[in-house]
Amino acid sequence: MAKRDSYTDLLIIGAGPAGLMAACWASQYAITTRLIDLKSERTAAGHADGINSRTMEILDSFGLADTVLRQAAGNMDAAYWGPNEKTGNIRRIKHQPSQTQELSRFDQMLLNQGAIEQILIDYLVSKGRVHVERERKAEELELPCHSDKKSDEEYPVHVRVVSVNGDDGQPDNAEVIHARYVIACDGTRSWTSAQLKIDSDVWKTESTWGVMDIVPETDFPDIQRACAIQAGDGLSMMVVPRENNLVRFYLHLNGGEERSPNGPDKSEGSLEDLMDMAEKTLKPYKLSYKYCDWWSIYPIGRRLIKQYRSDRIFFAGDAAHTHSPKGGQGLNISMQDTYNLVWKVAAVISGSVDPAILETYQSERRPEAEQLMEFDTRLVYAYEEGSTEDDSEDGVEAVRDKYAGFMAGVAVTYPPSILVDESESNAAVTRNVQLGKRLPSYLIVGQEDGSVVHLAKKLNSNGCWRLLIFPGDLHHPGVLDRLSVFAKDLSGRINNHLIPQSTNNSEFLETLLIHSSPRASVNQSQHLGAFHQFDTELGCDHTKVFVDDPSCDGDTGQAYEQYGIDKQRGCLIVCRPDQHVGWIGAIEDAEGLEKYFSKFLFNKGRT
């Protein structure tokens, strides 16, 4: 069997949603990345189907939200049904918006996992830097070794990989991939975690559920609403409308063995059993189907690995945590794991950042998985044992309301760390911006061209840190003077390499200024020229200055109010490459800004 050696900065094992998101992030950086997967093709049908608000924001940061919106179904309305004790049938208790709070500019969307994977694959093709290597099987793993070879020191993780080709399924073309770092996104039965004997916290349960994606024929009035249905006698069901006229049915079963068929197999009767149970649950309404896209039966098992990292190897997605699909969180948490991780790994590989930042992956993501386990436990209990009545504390609606921010993905708040600088001086300058949390987005207006855009559109995922300067009203006494002093101080620290503006010939820190004066009253070239980032070939960049002006079209003029920023005092906000707030300071605090970056940056003057 032929064997060869190859070298890569980053090896990703598994091309599901977590692995594909990792590859999309890695493609933004000047690093080498390999992505291998045992399967011959992407997920064909079924599996995950919900994209929460935060995941939509992340997809939008890669320019992919519009592609999702064209294919997906919106999850706009929800209904709760319970038993009518007099008739023995179900009755609607209430209906309301699925996401009752204004949590994001995006609503939750519904689209099958395979379609989401294809969108990410197409993005990788367009970038041309990383591609999915199909039918590639990892067979052996060697941890960082002590060797005299310099290559082994630089690429310490060795993974022996073979191609599985041909009708006989026999492996050939063995290759040893030498990697600086490995991200294991290889699913529930993770090969990587088995090799390393990673311990997990396990919550055992006997609960078994069935799922089917069908095009239904029914007179049930809420078939196009997301529904939580409890019919009494242990019958409960969740209904989720999907793309292409599909509707997903989740049914609580009282027993059964684990099986995951790829499609309907009526000879075993399981699909018909699911249909029979769905019909009983929906009484007095009728239900039948002519087309089933996918179905499965599975027990619920909750597992959370104790360590998200073993030396140079990281775990993400189902390789790190498993749970029920009831809350629609699996795909979302998985993609958000690697969105949190890869920019850190890439920055370390570039040599500009202290590897200590990699410790924050465990401290930031595992608490989110712990909350997922808590939420999943409570939601499943609500479906199995709870009530749909309005005043029930253990009912489905009550659980979903309590965890609304978590379900939308926008409540994630990372704790203080080397990347989240929490100090007393930060808190006073803004009331509503929370350290460690993703920065909410509001409409701002381009000072130069008057274009109205969401601030998040300027925080796209390209690896840049952002310094957001909110000076306030430039016409208020002292504001422009303080801004001018800060501009000179910032420029001096950048010129003296105390604050980086670029590393390895790429932009590191992008500066955006958002003032609150009326746009027409400000002469940009006269007052704001210091914030035009100058390029020797392209000249001044006039796209970095914006205004929070309510006189423009749309819901403009809300940013300062919503962020809680005083228009006389202003503030500075640093957003990490993943849009989470890392540091907040007063408009004069260039020294504090320098201290923040100095905690984790190497070679601050490299160009």
Range 49-56 average pLDDT: 93
| CATH at 474 | 3.40.30.20
Q: Say which residue the tokens 């090896």 belong to.
A: 11
**Diameter of the chain measured on Cα atoms:** 81
| CA nearest to 406, candidates 64, 104, 24 | 104
Q: Count the Cβ atoms, other than its own, within 10 Å of residue 485.
A: 13
Indicate whether 88 and 147 sit together in one domain.
Answer: yes
Specify the pLDDT at position 372: 92
The percentage of residues in the chain with a pLDDT greater than 90, rounded to a whole number, is 63
State how far the Cα of 334 lies from the Cα of 351, in Å rounded to an integer: 27
Whether 72 has a pLDDT exceeding 90, the answer reads yes
Indicate whether 484 and 547 sit together in one domain.
Answer: yes
| CATH at 256 | 3.30.9.10
Indicate whether 8 and 126 sit together in one domain.
Answer: yes
The percentage of residues in the chain with a pLDDT greater than 70, rounded to a whole number, is 87
Judge whether 431 lies within some domain.
no
Range 476-481 average pLDDT: 92
Indicate whether 134 and 164 sit together in one domain.
Answer: yes
Specify the pLDDT at position 170: 60
State how far the Cα of 122 lies from the Cα of 243, in Å rounded to an integer: 20
Whether 190 has a pLDDT exceeding 80, the answer reads yes
Specify the pLDDT at position 412: 96
Specify the pLDDT at position 202: 82
Whether 431 has a pLDDT exceeding 70, the answer reads yes
Indicate whether 178 and 306 sit together in one domain.
Answer: yes
Task: Give residue 148's Cα distance to chain centre.
Answer: 40
Whether 147 has a pLDDT exceeding 70, the answer reads no
Domain boundary among 252, 285, 301: 301
Indicate whether 194 and 218 sit together in one domain.
Answer: no
Q: What are the beta bridge partners of residue 601?
A: 353
Burial class, 125, CB count within 10 angstroms (exposed 0-12 / middle 13-18 / buried 19+) = exposed
Report residue 206's pLDDT band, with 50, 70 and 90 as the boundaries.
low
Give one DSSP letter per residue of 503-542, joined into a string: ETTEE-EEEEEEE-S-GGG--HHHHSGGGS-EETTTEE-T
State how far the Cα of 604 lies from the Cα of 495, in Å rounded to an integer: 11
Residues 6+ apart with CB under 8 A from 264: 271, 292, 295
Range 219-225 average pLDDT: 95
Judge whether 563 lies within some domain.
yes
Specify the pLDDT at position 392: 62
149 or 444: which leads in pLDDT: 444
Judge whether 571 lies within some domain.
yes
Judge whether 490 lies within some domain.
yes
Write the pLDDT tens digit of every residue in 370-415. 999 999 888 888 877 755 555 566 688 888 889 999 999 999 999 9
Q: Give how far Cα 214 sits from Cα of 220, 239, 249, Å.
A: 14, 11, 8
State how far the Cα of 325 lies from the Cα of 250, in Å rounded to an integer: 9
Could you tell me the residue range of the domain that residue 83 belongs to? 4-200+302-408
Q: Give how far Cα 236 sits from Cα of 31, 231, 239, 491, Å.
A: 49, 6, 10, 63
Specify the pLDDT at position 353: 93
Judge whether 427 lies within some domain.
no
Write the pLDDT tens digit of every residue in 4-24. 999 999 999 999 999 999 999
Whether 257 has a pLDDT exceeding 60, the answer reads no
Range 139-167 average pLDDT: 79
Q: Are 250 and 326 in contact (CB under 8 A)?
A: yes
Specify the pLDDT at position 327: 72
Instruction: Look over the chain and give the mean of its residue pLDDT values, rounded to a whole number.
Output: 87
Judge whether 422 lies within some domain.
no
Specify the pLDDT at position 315: 98
Write the pLDDT tens digit of every residue in 74-95. 877 889 999 988 888 999 998 8
Report residue 554's pLDDT band, with 50, 70 and 90 as the boundaries.
confident
Specify the pLDDT at position 180: 97
Specify the pLDDT at position 525: 58
Indicate whether 215 and 245 sit together in one domain.
Answer: yes
Burial class, 288, CB count within 10 angstroms (exposed 0-12 / middle 13-18 / buried 19+) = exposed
Specify the pLDDT at position 324: 79
Q: Say which residue the tokens 């920055």 belong to.
A: 347
Domain boundary among 245, 280, 301: 301
State how far the Cα of 508 lies from the Cα of 119, in Å rounded to an integer: 28
Indicate whether 585 and 443 sit together in one domain.
Answer: yes
State how far the Cα of 149 lies from the Cα of 343, in Å rounded to an integer: 28
Indicate whether 323 and 272 sit together in one domain.
Answer: no
Specify the pLDDT at position 530: 55
Lowest mean pLDDT among 39-43, 268-272, 405-409, 577-581: 268-272
Domain boundary among 266, 301, 336: 301
440 or 150: which leads in pLDDT: 440
Specify the pLDDT at position 205: 62
How large is the C-alpha radius of gyration of the chain? 26
Indicate whether 330 and 194 sit together in one domain.
Answer: yes
Specify the pLDDT at position 426: 63
Residue 450 per-residue DSSP state = -
Indicate whether 462 and 537 sit together in one domain.
Answer: yes
Judge whether 488 lies within some domain.
yes
Range 51-67 average pLDDT: 97
Whether 258 has a pLDDT exceeding 60, the answer reads no
Whether 519 has a pLDDT exceeding 80, the answer reads yes
How many independent structural domains does the chain possess? Answer: 3
Q: Are 46 and 112 in contact (CB under 8 A)?
A: yes
Report residue 201's pLDDT band, with 50, 70 and 90 as the boundaries.
confident
Write the pLDDT tens digit of every residue in 295-314. 988 777 789 999 999 999 99
Range 264-286 average pLDDT: 79
Report residue 607's pLDDT band, with 50, 70 and 90 as the boundaries.
very low
Residues 6+ apart with CB under 8 A from 148: none
Q: Are 135 and 84 in contact (CB under 8 A)?
A: no
Write the pLDDT tens digit of every residue in 94-119. 888 877 678 899 999 999 999 999 99
- At 15 the three-state DSSP class reads coil
Task: Give residue 242's Cα distance to chain centre.
Answer: 21
Whether 144 has a pLDDT exceeding 90, the answer reads no
Judge whether 237 lies within some domain.
yes
Indicate whether 492 and 551 sit together in one domain.
Answer: yes
